[in-house]
Amino acid sequence: MGGAGAAAGPGFVCGDADLGAEFEAMIEPVRYPADGLTREQVIEIRRIKARVETERLPRGADPATHTKLGRGGLADVEWAVQLLQLRYAGRIPELRGTRTLDALTAARDAGLLDATDAAELAAGWTLAAEVRDALMLVRGRAGDQLPRHGVELAGVVRLLGREDQGEFLDEYLRTGRHSRTVVQRILESPL
């Protein structure tokens, strides 16, 4: 799933527009199954997510402050949103799309998430994305791990318009915990 910067519209990038549209129409039932997912498919998605969490987090990474793969971060929210899309976008066309925050709004508007849960997920995703972008500027290269102290943390805090490193770190951890709680509720929701 694309992030906030993902372009809306066709999923193809070049070539014949009619062929691209034909391909999108062909894969629509796979992307957005009319009847949602079976119980077995949801269980398999849960299993795969658990495996990804244990195997993909880099050695030595702090799961509480890893923007991409950490608790309540980018991937967590995207897993939850994509599960909602797979389960319900076949019946709710507004859920179809590649922009995480737009899909969250659509899920809220469709009554799949209450406003508080949607806001918690949006806050977790947005803060993790902002920190990830700030890390890139501070380091001059891509990075996903928010440090808990030091000059890089100070740079991120300053770039994000905050003043106190400790308060910011507490905010990041709290936001991630709240986001993760909602993610888990979505993943564990009754089949």
- Residue 12: the pLDDT is 65
Mean pLDDT of the chain: 91
Arithmetic mean of pLDDT, 154-181:
97
Arithmetic mean of pLDDT, 126-135:
98
Full-model pTM: 0.87
Confidence of residue 1 (pLDDT cuts 50, 70, 90): very low
Confidence of residue 191 (pLDDT cuts 50, 70, 90): low
* Cα angle 67-72-78, degrees, rounded to a multiple of 5: 85
Please tell me which residue, 156 or 16, carries the higher pLDDT value. 156
- Residue 37: the pLDDT is 94
Whether pLDDT at 6 is above 50: no
Whether pLDDT at 93 is above 50: yes
pLDDT digits (tens, 9 = 90+) for 101-123: 999 999 999 999 999 999 999 99
Q: Percent of the chain scored above 70 by pLDDT?
A: 93
- Residue 4: the pLDDT is 41
